[in-house]
Amino acid sequence: DIQMTQSPSSVSASVGDRVTITCRASQDISTWLAWYQQNPGKAPKLLIYAASSLQSGVPSRFSGSGSGTDFTLTISSLQPEDFASYYCQQSYTFPYTFGQGTKLEIK
């Protein structure tokens, strides 16, 4: 299986801050990488697919980059509704695998 490693596992930030979360794959996955947001008690929501494509309806403050094994999710200016958990997921080959998650907390 392809292992996905996210960092950090948690981060504290303030409204208006710029935040970057990284994800590393254990092998080359080209751009087969997605990012999800999950609020407590809710289903995950797809934010980014194909490493850098913004899912319909997702605010433009979210952006993704990377290819191969190293990827980033950036939130350019944090809004109150962005404090949630974030997961990366490789869709290069099944079994698809998620990173362990990053919890974004209010400072």
Partner 1 sequence: EVQLVQSGAEVKKPGESLKISCKASGYSFTYNWIGWVRQMPGKGLEWMGIIYPRDSDTRYSPSFQGQVTISADKSISTAYLQWSGLKASDTAMYYCARLTSGCGDFWGQGTLVTVSS
Residues in contact with partner 1 by CB under 8 A are 1, 32, 34, 36, 38, 43-46, 49-50, 55, 87, 89, 91-92, 94-101
C-alpha to C-alpha distance for 64 and 51, rounded to whole angstroms:
6
CB of 58 to partner 1, least distance (A): 11
Task: With H, G, I as helix, E, B as strand and everything else as coil, classify residue 78.
Answer: coil
Q: Which is nearer to partner 1, 68 or 101 (CB)?
A: 101
Alpha-carbon Rg for the chain, nearest whole angstrom, is 13
List beta partners, residue 67: 70
Question: Shortest Cβ distance from residue 31 to partner 1 (Å)?
Answer: 11
For partner 1, the closer of residues 39 and 77 by Cβ is 39
Q: Cβ closer to partner 1: 53 or 77? A: 53
For residue 28 the two structure tokens come to 């080359």
58, 47 contact by CB (below 8 A): yes
Nearest distance from residue 95's CB to partner 1, in Å?
Answer: 4
